[in-house]
Amino acid sequence: MKHFLTLILTLSVVALFAQPANRIVANPEYSKNIISKHIYGHFSEHLGHCIYGGYFVDEGSTIPNTRRIRTDIVDALKKIKIPNLRWPGGCFADEYHWNDGIGLRSERPKMVNTNWGGVTEDNSFGTHEFLDLCEMLGTEPYICGNVGSGTVAEMSKWVEYLNFDGVSPMADLRKKNGHDKPWKVRFWGVGNENWGCGGSMTAEFYADQYRRYATYARNYGDAKLMKIAGGANSGDYHWTETLMKNVPLNMMWGISLHYYTIPKTWASKGSATAFGEDEYFSAMKSCLHMEELVSRHSAVMDQYDPEKRVALAVDEWGIWTDVEPGTNPGFLFQQNSLRDALIAASTLNIFNNHSDRVRMSNLAQTVNVLQALILTDKEKMLLTPTYHIYDLYQVHQEATLIPLVLRTKDYVLGNDKLPALNASASRDKDGNIHISVVNIDPTNAQDLQIDIAGTQALKASAQILTSEKYTDHNTFEKPNALKPAPFAGTKKSGESISLKVPAKSVVMITLAK
């Protein structure tokens, strides 16, 4: 018997080492979680040229627009089916008073944007303009209310203005301002970063404030609010636990989490396009830390909510670098390289794989700010590499997650290492399977075998986003330098797919009927 067990153990070890070094194993029969489309949400704050000079053009502009909302931006975002848009902030939300942004534009009071550049805002883009934009995009509005400098009554009246279909002071005012029927806004943030720019509160104090504000943010008719509590900064697990412990679960649809990928340090973040491999590696390490954050915040939430009724909404994330030389440091304008596309793809893979708890996320930010999808310069517009990731990944929206087991080689630099590959997979309503694979190793291609049960009759095709250098990016002179292309490197045999994933690339594999 002893010799027999030794033989079995030896054969098992031999079999293990005979397998490919990089391998994905998945079985669609174990699928159950839906990847919420709201994981693919976005964020537009009154910051720099995101709104003014981005979505919203000057009165009388020759740039094609509808009611001052820029047409080419709307068309680009509709193409990738953005599911929701968060507004007006961010830090701006907790100094914004919504009634200053309604009525005749000529009569709206001006304000100073103290958080972002100290510029004077004329409030010409307010509630009606934002919801007009959302209707053009075919997306759901996600409005963040003012807890830091606002009042309970102010927030309560804003909800009534938006959602009440009847006779009341706020509904009558909405009708007077030109919108007869309510918008029925669902997603509602009760404050933003209340541990910092939203009031410098403790977790315990904010939990009490949340209950007050949320109580008076009423449901009207069938417009049931999905209230999102202002959650933790990065790894502040105490904040999450305090909210879960002190706020009744039926008062929250979700709790937010904010985390930014920082290539170097907060004081000196590094360039968006001029960096070496040390900085590239540290950025990828910072990005992949999201896996630990989501896992640990989810574990805290599981203690109080094992049925996962409350969503984790990562409603600010992305890479944050130094601003482009010569631009206003308060406007947070940065370029967008292949590195940023790899960060976006890797992060979305993490969210997909945690879709049992993560049911919303919002990339910061949509136009001209931080990890933007779109950059503009007067009449010019370009789509960034990050935009193309959202284009490739839209197939995961509302698809069923296919859990997978991934074994990967490491990407090694000096004495440190990271997993070279990351991935997620889903099956859409038509039965097609999509596998998104990222190779963060900037030098080495990775041979990969993928085994997915029950896919004998499906045909494989793929697209790829990559470039010669990880610093490569699109410019207004060369706006299409980086964009997805067909990838002919996949070979399918039965239920197995083999491919060589090129260095620093994102590959989207489709198995279609």
* Residues tagged active-site: 193, 316
Task: Give the helix ranges, DSSP H, for 398-461.
Answer: none
The DSSP string of 39-79 is GGEEE--SSTTSTBTTTBPPTT-SS-EETTEEHHHHHHHHH
How far apart, in whole angstroms, are the C-alpha atoms of residue 70 and residue 85? 16
Which helix H or strand E contains 17, and what residues bound it? helix 2-18
- In this structure, what token pair is assigned to residue 201? 């509160």
How far apart, in whole angstroms, are the C-alpha atoms of residue 291 and residue 314? 12
- In this structure, what token pair is assigned to residue 231? 């959650």
CA atoms within 13 A on the CB side of 135: 13
Q: Which amino acid is at 4?
A: F
- What is the torsional sign of CA 375, 45, 358, 371? positive
Give the 3-state secondary structure of residue 158.
helix
How far apart, in whole angstroms, are the C-alpha atoms of residue 437 and residue 448? 10
The structure tokens 């080495």 sit at 444
How far apart, in whole angstroms, are the C-alpha atoms of residue 383 and residue 73? 9
Residue 477 to residues 8, 381, 481, Cα–Cα distance (Å) = 63, 10, 9
Which helix H or strand E contains 461, and what residues bound it? strand 459-465
- Nearest alpha carbon to residue 368 among 45, 48, 41, 42: 48
